[in-house]
Amino acid sequence: MRFSKSPGRVVVPAAFVHAAMLALGVFRMPSAAQAIQVPPPGGSGVVRAGQVSFVMPSPSPDLVEMGPDFRVMMEIATPNTNRLVAAFIPPDQLAKLPGGLSGAPDRYALVEVLRRAEFVDVDEATFKQVVDAMSTQLANGEAQSTMVKQQDRINEKIEDLGLKTGKVTVDKPVQLGSIFSNANAYGFCMLEPMASGGATQNMVNGVALLRVKNRLLYLYVYAKYEDKTTVDWVLKTTQAWTDAILKQNP
């Protein structure tokens, strides 16, 4: 595969879809048969993508990786174009899974890869091409049309799974600007208004595209908006998490 045709098209659709499911309680975790062992917060683990192993640190001291057994529950919020690699939620939320957990964590983070590009070797020139295309789409205001398309796919999942939560609708995202841009990482932040079942929620979303070991990784950091401190937390966490991943995967 080559990124020769509209390279931005392979990255932007993944960036605007997850909070709609989780923030509004569309996501429902079923009861588990037995208690699970919650890992210590702030640790690191190893994940695989594109035949490559990655050391994956926690994005924040108050988040833990769900592990392969429970991580699959987050796939309902992952677009069909992507594959979920890691999912982080607060440890107290993870501990509740044996008894069932409804609604969504106030903060969570996801790592994904683009299915059609998972096994592609990405050099610096290709990464720059992808970032430039993404930047152009964001500048042209294409986020809204992308979100509407993903909204429709999410609603199809809701219907297929028989969830009684109502359809998800998304409003125009508010761009909060770029966080960082360098040879191996590009990050930006936005505010995403969403509604479902009569409830409306604003989510702050930090998105980072990384070139790690010649593979593309997508990072998503979410927090329910309360005030400016929410935005500050997302910005700081997205930057620090990106730095940690790049440092631990030379």
Query: Going residue by residue through the chain (250 aa), what tens digit of pLDDT does each one get?
Result: 444 434 333 443 334 344 434 444 545 544 444 555 666 666 789 999 999 999 999 999 999 999 888 888 777 778 888 999 999 999 888 877 755 555 667 899 999 999 999 999 999 999 999 898 888 877 776 666 666 666 777 777 777 766 666 677 777 788 888 899 999 999 999 988 877 767 778 889 999 999 999 999 999 999 999 999 999 999 999 999 999 999 999 9
35 found inside a domain: no
Whichever domain contains 137, its CATH number is 3.40.1000
**Number of domains making up the chain:** 1
Q: What amino acid occupies position 181?
A: S
Q: Supply the DSSP symbol for 162.
A: T
Q: E strand or H helix at 15, and its extent?
A: none
pTM: 0.84
Q: Is 56 helix (H, G, I), strand (E, B) or coil?
A: strand
Residues belonging to the chain:
250
Percent of the chain that is helix, strand, coil (3-state, to 5): 35, 35, 30
126 found inside a domain: yes
| Residue of 185, 195, 189, 194 whose CA lies nearest to 222 | 189
Cα–Cα distance, 63 to 61 (Å, whole number): 6
Q: Residue 20: what pLDDT? A: 38
Task: Estimate to the nearest angstrom the gap between the alpha carbon of 119 and the chain centroid.
Answer: 20
Q: How far is CA 81 from CA 36, 78, 121, 161, 178, in A?
A: 30, 8, 18, 19, 24
Integer-rounded Cα Rg, in Å, for the chain is 17
220 found inside a domain: yes
153 found inside a domain: yes
What is the domain extent for residue 186?
Answer: 7-28+41-163+171-248
107 found inside a domain: yes
Q: How far is CA 132 from CA 17, 106, 166, 182, 185, in A?
A: 21, 32, 37, 12, 12
- Cβ-based neighbours of 17, under 8 Å, separated by 6 or more: 77, 78, 79, 147, 150, 151, 153, 154
1 found inside a domain: no
Torsion of CA 235, 239, 240, 242, to 10 degrees: 140
Task: Estimate to the nearest angstrom the gap between the alpha carbon of 87 and the chain centroid.
Answer: 8
C-beta atoms surrounding 12 within 10 Å: 22
Q: Is 249 helix (H, G, I), strand (E, B) or coil?
A: coil
Cα–Cα distance, 191 to 210 (Å, whole number): 21
71 found inside a domain: yes
Q: Are 94 and 58 in contact (CB under 8 A)?
A: no
159 found inside a domain: yes
